[in-house]
Amino acid sequence: MIATRHLPFAVFRHVVLAAGAVVMLAPFIWLLSLAVKPADEIFTTDLRLLPLKWDAERNFTEAFNKVPLHRYLLNGVIVTAAIFTMQVLVALPAAYALAKLRFGLAKPLFALVLLGLLIPGHVPAIPHYIMLSHAGLLNSYPALVLPSIISVFGIFWIRQFFRTVPDDLIHAARLDGLSEFSIVWRIMLPAAMPALVAFGILSVVFHWNDYFWPLLVVTSPDMAMPALGTVYLRNTEAGTDYGPLMAGTAIITAPLVIAFLFAQRRFIEGMTLTGLKG
Amino acid sequence: MIPAPNAFQSGVSVRSVSKSFGQTRVLSEVSLEVGPREFLTLLGPSGCGKSTLLRIIAGLDHADEGSIALGNQAVDGLLPRERDVAMVFQSYALYPYMTVAENIGLPLLMRRTRSWQRLPLIRRLHPVARAAAGTITRDVRRAAEALQIEAFLDRKPGQLSGGQRQRVALARAMVRNPRVFLMDEPLSNLDAKLRVAARAEIAELHRRSGVACIYVTHDQVEAMTMSDRVALMMGGEVLQVAPPAEIYDRPAELRVAEFIGSPKINILPSTVRSDGGVDVPGGVLAIRSGLPANTAVSVGVRPEHCDVADGGIRGTVRHRENLGSDLFVHVETVGEHRIIARAAPEIIDSVPPGATVSLRPRPDRALLFDRAGRRL
Ligand SMILES: Nc1ncnc2c1ncn2[C@@H]1O[C@H](COP(=O)(O)OP(=O)(O)O)[C@@H](O)[C@H]1O
Ligand SMILES: [Mg+2]
């Protein structure tokens, strides 16, 4: 009964959402479509989703042949994993201290974190570049990882989550003999799991897709991150071959899309911050 | 709870502890001595500073002034884990992501192993770590059996009922033979029936443990039924420390008398007569106060010491409460003073609302308080 009464609204809602989805998905669908078309079909004037002649195999092999795609993917995995691990190692204790410990500098330090949130990531790029250059670390994994290990957003995000953990839980842990560090890893980390997963997805997506920073510090193709790698696909010799470029882009996007589909529920859980229950 | 004959046993000394949060003074000059095997209840209305005092004893919070000793050792500089106290929280504070067994075993794990022995692989392989794990499993099981929760050892706290969680919290506190138990309203989240059973059980577990226990509650029935002594707190001060019977029969001051007892004690503003008796609203009480004539006093009479009988204070019945075992008659006397008297339920028909009755407080049980509220 309720369903029928609200039917017009339900239809309207779905139409709007579907239209939004189409707008968002169109470039990806087009990308997939181009990735399976032969070169001469790409620039025809008629709009066709499926190719007349499937050329997926050539496009994908070409993509792997022209540039070391697997190397970019490997770099992407290593660098994003290293960044996220280090971010957690820094953010968790910091967030715990800011959320639960009472000390004189707690307020000013938290104000600094908030201030950090306001500074665009590109602002410290040049100082970072100069420091890495002096350290002789350009064009290496550390160059890709080090500038990102302190995430003020991560500290802020997890700190907000830690505020919802009852003080009594921490008191119980202190009486049970846990040190402050054990409390962070044994008590707070499991409690913060949903927030960490959400933060992890944001962090990995951002650094996997980051084009700006790798472009600055990477000089040899075998250090390239996925997003930068696709550019090498484009720049190769005589003109751009769009089929392989789109195939390569599809491969580089795929891991994230698949990971998101698997972690979708946890992601939304973390984003809505349902907090601790029970 | 597993009585170790050589376990170090001690009492607790709280010496003039004061504490403020910002401008609010939460504890002022609180002093308490708890015997080595004593069950002492901190009783008081909520917000009077009971939990704060408990946290200070545990080392979770710091006093502004004063000191705490466990046994003969001053513990002011010690971290909570070095004080060897166990606490049961009102919210139970169980670790939600650990099983019941892990919850109970954690205090043992942290005490019996070093941090490197808790690393994932070493925990399984190193002989010392494995031996410790064996003793922990054994002790966790023993504690769980004592509290009848051995069937739930593999569950997470979220899968337990309130009563079961409360038992897990007790087991976690008792498993390691602490110097002293601190319990912060552990029964307040249970339903009435479970609470009665748990009262007896906690008192029993305490007797077997032979360790000092400070038990916080705002429920006077818990305080009266479980304690060796009751410390009555109000507004951040300890008003009286005494065994339950004494605090009930000989309250040190008016606030104590009013807090303890249900229904509340009747307080009658009165004046001492020249013949030694006391003028109360609606009548005269034959009390030998020994005070000069015309002294203003408050007379306190508990409902059970106030009989419905002829020849006493006259008043009008306003309300009746029949509990089956007792009948409480609310009577209004001159000056709109209300007096509650306890009577046998059989007389209920003779005291209908609106009827005029006569109340006779027993002079020997009446309590006299001066204007400052001190008992005379
Ligand atoms: N961390 C704190 N910061 C500020 N005020 C507090 C804090 N903890 C307790 N208080 C205040 O101290 C008073 C006593 O609290 P508490 O010890 O919890 O009382 P009780 O346990 O007797 O109910 C209350 O008025 C409470 O608001
Ligand atoms: Mg309290």
Q: Report residues whose beta carbon is within 6 angstroms of any ligand 1 atom.
A: B 21, 26, 44, 46-52
Q: Residue B70 in contact with residue B257, Cβ under 8 Å? A: no
Residue nearest to atom 25 of ligand 1 (CA): B47
- Residue spans per domain, chain A: 7-62, 69-274
Which chain B residues touch A168 with a CB distance below 8 Å?
A: 89-91, 93
Residue B360 in contact with residue B331, Cβ under 8 Å?
A: no
Region A83-104 average pLDDT: 95
Is pTM beyond 0.95 here? Answer: no
Task: Please give the average per-residue pLDDT across A78-98, as a whole number.
Answer: 96
Peptide bond into B263 cis (omega under 30): yes
pLDDT tens, residue by residue, B313-366? 889 999 999 999 999 999 998 888 899 999 999 999 989 999 999 999 998 899
- Domain extents for chain B? 12-254, 265-369
Q: Which residue has the higher pLDDT, A65 or A274?
A: A65
B256, B239 Cβ separation under 8 angstroms? yes
Query: Among A254, A239, A203, which Cα is nearest to A72's?
Result: A254
| CA–CA separation, B133 and A16 (whole Å) | 59
Q: How many helices (H) and strands (E) would you count in chain B? A: 10, 19
Which are the contacts of A164, defined by CB distance < 8 A and separation ≥ 6?
A: A273, A275, A276
Q: Once rounded to an integer, what is the mean pLDDT over residues B90-111?
A: 94
Per-residue pLDDT tens for A185-194?
Answer: 999 999 888 8
- Helices A56-66 and A69-100, interaxial angle, to 10°? 70
> What would the pLDDT profile of A64-76 be if each residue is shown by its tens digit?
888 888 999 999 9
Q: In this model, does residue B107 exceed pLDDT 90? A: yes
The closest of B221, B244, B222, B219 to B231, measured between CA atoms, is B244
Q: Is B265-369 in the same CATH topology as B12-254?
A: no
Query: Would you call A169 an interface residue with chain B, using a CB distance cutoff of 8 Å?
Result: yes
Average pLDDT over residues B209-213: 91
pLDDT at B42 over 90: yes
pLDDT in tens, B256-294: 999 999 899 999 999 998 887 888 888 888 888 788 888
Nearest ligand to the C-alpha atom of residue B233:
1
- Quick check: A238 and A92 in contact, CB under 8 A? no
Cβ neighbours for B277, distance < 8 A, ≥ 6 positions apart: B284, B285, B286, B287
Taking the C-alpha atoms of residue A245 and residue A224, their distance in angstroms, rounded to an integer, is 16
A191 touches A274 (CB < 8 A): no
Q: Say what the pLDDT of residue B81 is.
A: 92
CA angle B208, B214, B216 (to 5 degrees): 120
User: Of 3.40.50.2300, 1.10.287.130, 3.40.50.180, 3.40.50.300, which CATH number belongs to B12-254?
Assistant: 3.40.50.300
Nearest CA to ligand 1 atom 16: B49
Instruction: Specify the pLDDT at position A278.
Output: 32
Please say if the pLDDT value at position A166 is more than 70.
yes
Rg (CA), chain B: 26
Token match 């305080």: residue?
Answer: B223
Distance from the Cα of residue A207 to its chain's centroid: 5
Q: How far apart are CA A144 and CA A138, in angstroms?
A: 8
Using a CB-CB distance cutoff of 8 angstroms, which residues of chain A are in contact with residue B79?
174
Query: Residue A275: pLDDT above 70?
Result: no
* CATH placement of domain B265-369: 2.40.50.140
Chain pair A-B, CB pairs under 8 angstroms: 62
Tell me: pLDDT of A100 over 90.
yes
Class for the domain spanning A69-274: mainly alpha
Closest by CA to B105, choosing from B163, B166, B154, is: B154
Sheet with B306-322: strands ordered across: B337-343, B327-333, B306-322, B356-361
Tokens of A192: 């913060």
- For residue A276, is pLDDT > 60? no
Residue A105: the pLDDT is 92
Measured between CB atoms, which of B93, B157, B172 is closest to A171?
B93
Distance from chain centroid for Cα B114: 38
Maximum CA extent, chain A:
74
* Number of the ligand 1 atom closest to the C-alpha atom of B216: 21
Chain B partners of A178 at a C-beta cutoff of 8 Å?
A: 81, 106, 110
Report whether A242 contacts A39 (CB < 8 A).
Answer: yes
User: Is the pLDDT at B218 greater than 90, yes or no?
Assistant: yes
DSSP B239-267: EEEE-HHHHHHS-SBHHHHHHSSSSPPEE
d(CA B161, CA B168): 11
